[in-house]
Structure 1
């Protein structure tokens, strides 16, 4: 019996110690979480629990270890010391076990209560159990809307500014601070378009549920939808597609032949950004890993979340010069990172205008850097045909930067449209959310949108009411806290449908062969093994030229035979001299009217 009591005591000590450690870690983690994310919402937490965490800032991980793991280990040491010191006193050991268990239950209970209240879990769960038809009734599927681009398509530079609010301007210019922390950005907005009407005070977009963190904001601004993931949904970390049922800005521009690039100084995998931008628009991803692999930065270089914005804007200039030499219009989308909480990253050229207020200095540095970049763009040859959109992604999560802002002040993200090819149909100040950026961006690029609405957004250059103007921001916000059957349908992954869409993305290919005919001045072009052509064949032509500048280019139609082989003869007698190396490219027009370069080769006439 004494042996059994001893075994039970040991088991009790082990279990109570584990409970105490778990409760301690939970309490420290909750404290760290609310200190790190002052405006954390439950929908953001749910998303990041299901999304990839690869690429998280190492400083944040170290901070968590210091503030959570280390104190927990110290508590473990104290418990073990108490047990060791009283190992021969069964009565005291029982009291230690009871104290650990009771303390663990109390600490866990208090932590859960504080967390429940801080995250407003009750309202979140209520929303998760209640459906609203607001999104379902107001969503306009872009795939069902006629969007007409101008004959001369404009380029797009879209800059997401981390945590940038109009709040940081001074009160005289529409902000909430005594001294303007972002004077250059204020000037850009006032000289261009932020839909403030006749007022000189800044105007910006409201953040809605599902858009209050970086990936949610990028998703919202390019799809017109909130990034709502059901708490019982699939993990975003294991999915092969990202909301396959939606049509986004990237999808639309891809279909219009745009070259698209995502340039960021952190790892694109984090938060599902790489999956989203490759799945919707097949963006070329230039992230921290790309910079390492291509020698843009040393292999062992890492600061903050990857590399700083000073390098980001330098790489952007180089990429823009490269893109501007291409025949296709381009979309360069960028995301800054230096202004991320807590207190931002101080680079080598950050000013000390605001003394020991590090975050203000970093914001001021970002403002100055963006203005310098815009000035550079406007001096380039491609500037006249390029629209620039600058938008904050979400409100800052810094713990104390906005603690003195009046509670009645309506905080909104910074917004401005530069060199827009659209005329405003109204001069009134617009009330809008970041969802409205989706159709407004396309309109700013000169595209005409049937009905002036896409997703949950409204084209702000039109006179049509936004949902915020129609419903009121608070009403719209509360309705979007609830579940939507449409969102569940759009986010649902149908593997067969996904595979079909992926197959459609594969460009058609073919084999081309060139051989001489019986005549000295003719060659036979033969095309066979045409693959991945899913929409039928309207026509097939060959482009033939010798000169590097293609000044002697001629187009020749190919005949299509029943066996799928296509042939034509080309007369070379017009080329002087006829001897030399020739280039041949094969182009197919599919059943939808889209052109595809399916093959290319060279041949020589001696």
Structure 2
């Protein structure tokens, strides 16, 4: 039936369906490209250089309450809503202009031929996707992530489980992480004043305090969870893709999987030797899976934002984006320390109290307790935070706790210097940046000389020795204790800087598959030989 109207309409319907599908695909590509472009711009603005692992392990865990605050909504609106609105606006504009042209009867103009317009639109959409993909890949270091998979080096060749050969001298430990505690802020030639002066006054070398000269952030680190895991587990925080491929990352989000469950960390060893491990922080404990990490590694009490609210802290003591002020956090830490120390005296069991400060987290926030006496508010905020920590140290000294309790104070990472952050001009191109730290060991520990220039990974075995545990060869993880004057030849710390850098950035898939696997935990950690 050559004149069948139904059959005659089939090509028209097919063309029409193809055109609609083409437009949908076109606008979908525009939306994806814009989302990637905006995401890349936000990452550069808010976090600077990050890694694929950081995206998987940290950025996806931000929270509106005590874990980023307004930044979460900025991300939702900027990456989720804004590209959709722009794409919808483009689609409506194209449709409106097409309708106007049809009404005017000028749709047959040669320079507006459908094929030409489709080619231009397709090229524009493709360019948006390519530019967005390239920008996002650069922002998260995708090329480095891919190159890391081709490295000939693997952490499993250098990783060592901590072997404790004696605990007769074990002692209480107080571990204080200073948010963005960079030692460069001591330089009065660069800044309006020495932001660490209040803390330095109560941790002077002539009073018996020590420090690791030139303590380095490990290459690839630079955020709080990387600071916690590197100094407490002795390995770079990475392997998220290995965890994701094994399903561990998904279970981690649901709270069913241990965080680095196949790795022996500081809390594990201390718990195995009778310590009570307690953690206090001002932000939400669940931000970036911090509570999961700590609970997975020997910490039995973890207190954060929700606990301080439940305890009746006043609204003025909180900042809406992150949490409790350092003034109130350190007051709570004093109370916690008093209880822990009293229990330790009564039972003879040691404790580890770990605290993470908050006030110096970007963006700059000035609490009522802090008097701003500098042109740059951030300088005063740092100084006020250090004064609160100094007050805590003074409390320890007044109560006599320093006689049987070791203290380690150190920054969790260097100060971020992203666009809009405080001190960007002073720090961005600074050639010699290091992490502030102070160490107190009761009973003459100051006689030991600390090896200079170690990075955060060597702080893990250092902390074990600070606790009074005897550590075989001074090694744990891929680090070597700063108390060890010599570095074993087979240690990662003996590698050349270039090789060591590549080792830390290597994918080490097999190593991290086991590190994130609960079942891979090798027996009881840190037991006596």
Query: Is this a same-fold pair by TM over 0.5?
Result: yes
Query: Residue 488 of structure 1 corresponds to which residue in structure 2?
Result: 512
* Among 22, 35, 41, the residue aligned to 1:25: 35
User: 1:83–1:359: structure 2 CA closer, same or farther, 3 Å change rule?
Assistant: farther
**Residue 57 of structure 1 aligns with which residue?**
68
Q: Which residue number corresponds to residue 359 of structure 2?
A: 338
Distance 1:240 1:67 in 2: 31
Partners of 1:300 and 1:344 in 2: CA distance: 15
Structure 2's unaligned 5+ residue stretches are 1-10
- Distance in 1 separating the partners of 2:63 and 2:386: 29
Contact 2:285 2:304 in 1 (8 A): yes
**1:288 and 2:305 are equivalent in the alignment:** yes
Q: How far did residue 81 of structure 1 move? A: 3.5
Give the aligned partner of residue 371 of structure 2: 351
Higher relative contact order (CA 8 A, sep 6+): 2
Match of 2:402 in 1: 383
Sort the Cα spacing of 1:419 and 1:300 in 2 relative to 1 into closer, same or farther, 3 A.
Answer: closer
Asked if the contact 2:283/2:305 (under 8 Å) is kept, the reply is yes
Alignment counterpart, residue 252 of structure 1, candidates 248, 269, 277: 269
SS at match of 2:409: strand
Query: Secondary structure of the equivalent of 2:173?
Result: strand
**2:308 match: secondary structure:** helix
Q: Deviations over 1:230-267 (max 9, x none)?
A: 42432142452122332221112112222221111222
Partner of 2:285: 268
CA distance, structure 1, for counterparts of residue 67 and residue 26 of structure 2: 33
Render the CA deviation track for 1:536-595: whole Å, top value 9, x for unaligned: xxxxxxxxxxxxxxxxxxxxxxxxxxxxxxxxxxxxxxxxxxxxxxxxxxxxxxxx99xx
2:145 alignment counterpart: 124
Query: Greater helix share, 1 or 2?
Result: 2
User: Contact 1:253/1:281 (CA < 8 Å) preserved in 2?
Assistant: yes
> Which position in structure 1 is the counterpart of 2:133?
112
1:139 aligns with 2:156: no
Q: Is the 8 A contact 2:182 2:434 kept in 1?
A: yes
What's the CA shift for 1:31? Answer: 0.3
2:406 aligned with 1:394? no
- 1:182 matches 2:196: yes
Q: Which has the higher strand share?
A: 1
Aligned-residue Cα RMSD (Å) equals 3.4
Structure 2 residue corresponding to 1:462, chosen from 469, 484, 497: 484
In structure 2, do the counterparts of structure 1 residues 108 and 395 end up closer, same or farther at CA, with 3 Å as the change threshold?
farther
* Aligned partner (choices 78, 90, 96) of residue 84 of structure 1: 96
Q: Which residue of 2 aligns with 1:436?
A: 458
1:297 positional shift: 5.6
The change in CA–CA distance for 1:210 and 1:250 in structure 2 (over 3 A counts) is farther
How far apart in 2 are the matches of 1:422 and 1:125? 49
Distance 1:297 1:100 in 2: 56
1:287 deviates by 1.3
Q: d(CA) in 2 for partners of 1:422 and 1:209? A: 33
Whole-Å separation in 2 of the counterparts to 1:110 and 1:445: 52
Q: CA deviation at 1:4?
A: 4.7
How far the C-alpha of 1:387 sits from its partner, in A, is: 1.4
Could you tell me which of 211, 219, 222 is aligned with 1:212? Answer: 222
Secondary structure, counterpart of 2:288 in structure 1: helix
- TM-score normalised by length of structure 2: 0.81
| Aligned mates of 2:73, 2:378 — CA distance in 1 | 20
CA distance 1:421–1:112, change in 2 (3 Å): farther
Which of 358, 365, 381 is the matching residue for 1:362?
Answer: 381
**Hey, what's the Cα distance between the residues in 2 that align with 1:436 and 1:127?**
22
The Cα of 1:189 is off from its aligned counterpart by 5.5
1:529 alignment partner in structure 2: none
Q: Deviation of residue 376 (structure 1)?
A: 2.0
Tell me by how many angstroms 1:190 deviates. Answer: 4.5
Contact kept, 8 Å, 2:406 with 2:439, in 1: the verdict is yes
Flag the 1:39–1:418 CA change in 2: closer, same or farther, 3 A. Answer: farther
Task: Note the 1:530-569 alignment, pairs <5 A.
Answer: none
Contact kept, 8 Å, 2:192 with 2:374, in 1: the verdict is no
Partner of 2:4: none
Report 1:454-603 matches (<5 A): 454-465=476-487, 470-484=494-508, 487-488=511-512, 490-493=514-517, 495=519
1:414 aligned to which of 423, 436, 439: 436
3-state secondary structure, aligned to 1:243: coil
**How far 1:354 moved relative to its partner?**
2.5
